[in-house]
A and B are shown apart, each in its own frame.
Chain A
Amino acid sequence: MYKYDSYDQKLVDERVAQYRDQTQRFLAGEIPDDEFRALRLRNGLYIQRFAPMLRISIPYGLLASRQLRMLGHIARTYDKGFGHFTTRQNMQFHWPKLEQVPDILAELATVQMHSIQTSGNCIRNVTSDHLAGVAHDELVDPRPYCEIARQWATFHPEFNWLPRKFKLAFSATTGDRAATRTHDIGIHIVRNERGELGYTMYVGGGLGRMPMLGHKIRDFLPELDLLSYLEAILRIYNRLGRRDNIHRARIKVLVKETGPEKFAEMVEAEWEQIRHGELRLQQTDIDIIKSHFDQHAYDRNAVNDRSYEACLATDPAFSAFVKRNVRLHREDGYRIVFASLKPVGGVTGDISAEQLDVMADLADRYSFDEARVTHDQNIVLGDVRKEDVYTVWKTLAEHGLATPNIGLLTDLICCPGLDYCSLANAGSIGVSQDIADRFESLDYLYDIGEIKIKMSGCMNGCGHHSVGHIGILGVDKHGEEWYQVTLGGSAENDASLGDRTGPAISRADIAAAIERIIGVYMDERRSEDETFLECYRRVGMPPFKARIYAAEEVPA
């Protein structure tokens, strides 16, 4: 966990006071609606279809147990007893009162949390790998670098009024779990051939109505040059990004219209002017930030436990859970445990106050006081001793958090859709439930294997549909909810954007269409080892298209 020092705390406290004053001036009629909108968005507050929505920042998805308890407290006190984890590793509450938001922010500040820059045309929450620090395939822990970038971005005086929102993601592994190439800036932490640490920089990725993968603009940026290079990119974007059309205002459009090579030249020219200045990091700066993170004292004896294997052998339900929801840890005596927020019939990413408390207790007792939110909207206990996994599973199961479906079809990601969001064209939660209902049998789910279904209720793409193995996009057709389906997207190292199957499909037929797509895969795959994505890449669209649109049951 990153622990605030007095400086971090003071900045967050001062931000709460600033926003309280802004809210009071708004309520006194001293700030026009549209201007207060820009100010409240920078503090995470949206006015949604039915009620305000408050988005709370969870930098790189990391939560301390006392922060989980605070989220539970806020859910109970200011909301209807629920919170919703988003695809950006944040938490959203859907019913807070505008007048009470400064109080909520003040409560959050007591546990080193905030909602700074979780919306608005500014630099947003920095995201990363939810397995950072415990993953096998990790070069270094990316989180100190995320934190350095977060601090640079927080209240940046020059970049708070950008053409559009701006998102950064870091990855330090061979398998990219942070979907970095779908971000405005994607940063891969790497070593060069001389063994020096640095970054490969990607710019101009994004989802939404014009999905694009980021372009590599630099192979290797030295470790200490991170902030000057980010500043150079942002300065070019602030000056030249389009402001005449909101749909063309993201940096991806600037990079595309300028051309990635020319854009890279502009960044390099700007960087050349500032790289030796105040923004150049010192090794001390990195060491100081690293020292703010807890170092976990792993128990070397944990590896000697035999009860874990015994439970696996005797308890099939536990064994099923471990197969899907438990991953190997860098330390042999430990495991990474996923709590699923995708129960059959439940709402993707939703979590009750009681469940938040349960996760806090489990994190306290079994995982060094920490939990992580994934961008697939689940929660991870990153450091559970082997011998404790069984107890953790029992507790998770008692509270509906142990559905053994991580990475499977029903572990789909989904935005709040028409049920909550004022931007949505179509519902997404109901569709995800319909799909889950059709694949109730866990045996069939295991047989289907690893697949990522991603669904968004509108073009803005909060559900990352463009990079779903199966993507579903809600569209409005003459006042009715229809769904555009794409196949073959991926957000990982083999990143790609999905291809459209054809005409949109009606609300009544969408779940059946997904079932047919899965049916084609089951018929076409060479073996159980060929994943949906591999199969699609081999056979292409025709067999899928033929079956989706073949019969009258799914009219085009």
Chain B
Amino acid sequence: MSVLIRNARAEADDYGELPDGANEAGPTRRVIVPLERWQAERESLLSRFDAVGVRLLNTTDLPTVWEHIADRPLIELDFPTFGDGRAYSQARLLRERYGFTGEIRARGKAVVRDHMLSMTRAGINSFVLRDDQIAEVCLAALNDFDLAYQHAVDALPIVAKMRRRAQPTSAEKQVDAAARE
């Protein structure tokens, strides 16, 4: 059973799989289905489950599907190999361009300690850890850095902004100049 980290805490997964062709997911009332199935069976899925999340491929072009997934409570992104970073761009676009506020979940071979911080920075807030991963070790990754050079989706302090704040304001410069004269 994979471990789920959500909002920086290990939690029980309240979503279940709905296998291809199956109509029931056992006792669970919340399921994640591939985009195609969601588009094909939207009304039927909504009538049978409390919540339906949608799984995207990392090749899915967001502008063409956004209107179909905008109201979903959860979007799952795919990291099929350790080094395939396409879904990083999807996560940032979902948060920054489309303003998606629901759960963005990462699943796949790259969902390990050493991807956790950048995934978080890109806007992913839930992680189906790969089977060999330990939750406490992965959570520690979120503290690897206390600041960052780039603006992103998370709350790390941004170096350029701190530098701007440390600059004297023009009023201060005038006072300083006056004092020197």
* Structural contact, A238 and B85, CB atoms closer than 8 A: yes
**Interchain CB contact (< 8 A) of B86 among A8, A152, A238, A282:** A238
User: Assuming A152-B149, A288-B167, is B159 touching A161 (CB within 8 A)?
Assistant: no
CB closest chain-B residue, reference A237: B89
* Structural contact, A5 and B163, CB atoms closer than 8 A: yes
* Structural contact, A159 and B85, CB atoms closer than 8 A: yes
CB closest chain-A residue, reference B143: A14
Q: Is B88 an interface residue (CB 8 A)?
A: yes
Chain A residues within 8 Å of B162, by CB: 7
Chain A residues within 8 Å of B148, by CB: 11, 155, 157
Chain B residues within 8 Å of A35, by CB: 82, 112, 114
CB closest chain-B residue, reference A160: B118
Q: Is B151 an interface residue (CB 8 A)?
A: yes
* Structural contact, A284 and B145, CB atoms closer than 8 A: no
**Interchain CB contact (< 8 A) of A155 among B84, B88, B149, B151:** B149
CB closest chain-A residue, reference B164: A284
Chain B residues within 8 Å of A399, by CB: none
Chain B residues within 8 Å of A31, by CB: 114
Chain A residues within 8 Å of B151, by CB: 278-279
* Structural contact, B89 and A157, CB atoms closer than 8 A: no
**What's the tally of chain A residues with a CB closer than 8 Å to chain B?**
39
* Structural contact, B145 and A158, CB atoms closer than 8 A: no
Bound CA span A14–B159, Å: 14
Bound CA span A121–B83, Å: 8
Bound CA span A7–B165, Å: 13
* Structural contact, B149 and A154, CB atoms closer than 8 A: yes
Chain B residues within 8 Å of A307, by CB: none
Chain B residues within 8 Å of A277, by CB: 96
Bound CA span A121–B151, Å: 21
Q: Is A156 an interface residue (CB 8 A)?
A: yes
Q: Is B146 an interface residue (CB 8 A)?
A: yes
Q: Is B65 an interface residue (CB 8 A)?
A: no
In the complex, what's the smallest C-beta–C-beta distance from A461 to chain B, in angstroms? 22
In the complex, what's the smallest C-beta–C-beta distance from B145 to chain A, in angstroms? 5
Chain A residues within 8 Å of B112, by CB: 35
Bound CA span A154–B121, Å: 14
Bound CA span A14–B156, Å: 14
Q: Please provide the chain A residues from 431 to 448 with a CB less than 8 Å away from any CB of chain B in the complex.
A: none
Bound CA span A25–B133, Å: 12
Residues 22-58 of chain B: 1 if any A CB is under 8 Å from the residue's CB, otherwise 0? Answer: 0000000000000000000000000000000000000
Q: Please provide the chain B residues from 143 to 170 with a CB less than 8 Å away from any CB of chain A in the complex.
A: 144-152, 159-160, 162-164, 167
CB closest chain-B residue, reference A31: B114
Q: Please provide the chain A residues from 130 to 155 with a CB less than 8 Å away from any CB of chain B in the complex.
A: 151-152, 154-155
Which of A10, A152, A162, A239 is the most central at the interface, judged by chain B CB atoms within 10 Å of its CB?
Answer: A239
Bound CA span A99–B144, Å: 20
Chain A residues within 8 Å of B88, by CB: 157-161, 238
**Interchain CB contact (< 8 A) of B163 among A14, A34, A152, A288:** A288
Bound CA span A510–B114, Å: 47
In the complex, what's the smallest C-beta–C-beta distance from A394 to chain B, in angstroms? 44
CB closest chain-B residue, reference A22: B114
Bound CA span A235–B167, Å: 32
Bound CA span A495–B97, Å: 39
User: Assuming A157-B121, A158-B122, is B114 touching A239 (CB within 8 A)?
Assistant: no
* Structural contact, B84 and A243, CB atoms closer than 8 A: yes
Residues 154-183 of chain A: 1 if any B CB is under 8 Å from the residue's CB, otherwise 0? Answer: 111111111000000000000000000000
CB closest chain-A residue, reference B97: A273
Bound CA span A160–B112, Å: 15
CB closest chain-B residue, reference A8: B159
* Structural contact, B146 and A14, CB atoms closer than 8 A: yes
Bound CA span A369–B83, Å: 41
In the complex, what's the smallest C-beta–C-beta distance from B48 to chain A, in angstroms? 34
Bound CA span A279–B150, Å: 8
* Structural contact, B82 and A157, CB atoms closer than 8 A: no
In the complex, what's the smallest C-beta–C-beta distance from A245 to chain B, in angstroms? 14
Q: Is B92 an interface residue (CB 8 A)?
A: yes
In the complex, what's the smallest C-beta–C-beta distance from A277 to chain B, in angstroms? 8
Q: Is A554 an interface residue (CB 8 A)?
A: no
* Structural contact, A11 and B150, CB atoms closer than 8 A: no
* Structural contact, B163 and A161, CB atoms closer than 8 A: no
* Structural contact, A156 and B150, CB atoms closer than 8 A: yes
Q: Is A311 an interface residue (CB 8 A)?
A: no
Bound CA span A25–B134, Å: 12
CB closest chain-A residue, reference B159: A7
CB closest chain-A residue, reference B88: A158
* Structural contact, A162 and B85, CB atoms closer than 8 A: yes
CB closest chain-B residue, reference A288: B163
* Structural contact, A155 and B145, CB atoms closer than 8 A: yes
* Structural contact, B83 and A282, CB atoms closer than 8 A: no
Bound CA span A451–B107, Å: 54
In the complex, what's the smallest C-beta–C-beta distance from A227 to chain B, in angstroms? 9
* Structural contact, B118 and A157, CB atoms closer than 8 A: yes
Bound CA span A35–B122, Å: 21
Chain A residues within 8 Å of B85, by CB: 158-162, 238
Bound CA span A25–B92, Å: 29
Chain A residues within 8 Å of B114, by CB: 22, 31, 35, 39
Residues 83-112 of chain B: 1 if any A CB is under 8 Å from the residue's CB, otherwise 0? Answer: 111101100100011000000000000101
Chain B residues within 8 Å of A17, by CB: 144
* Structural contact, B89 and A11, CB atoms closer than 8 A: no
* Structural contact, B164 and A282, CB atoms closer than 8 A: yes
Q: Is A541 an interface residue (CB 8 A)?
A: no
Q: Which residues of A line the B interface, CB within 8 A? A: 5, 7-8, 10-11, 14, 17-18, 22, 25, 31, 34-35, 38-39, 121, 151-152, 154-162, 235, 238-239, 243, 273, 277-279, 282, 284-285, 288
- Could you list some 14 contacts between A and B, CB below 8 A? A10-B147, A11-B159, A35-B114, A154-B149, A155-B148, A156-B150, A157-B118, A157-B119, A157-B121, A158-B89, A158-B92, A159-B88, A238-B88, A278-B151
Q: Which residues of B line the A interface, CB within 8 A? A: 82-86, 88-89, 92, 96-97, 110, 112-114, 117-119, 121-122, 144-152, 159-160, 162-164, 167
Known: A151-B149, A157-B92, A288-B167. 18 other contacts (CB 8 A): A7-B147, A7-B162, A8-B159, A11-B147, A14-B145, A17-B144, A35-B82, A35-B112, A38-B83, A151-B160, A152-B149, A157-B119, A157-B121, A160-B118, A235-B89, A238-B86, A239-B89, A284-B167
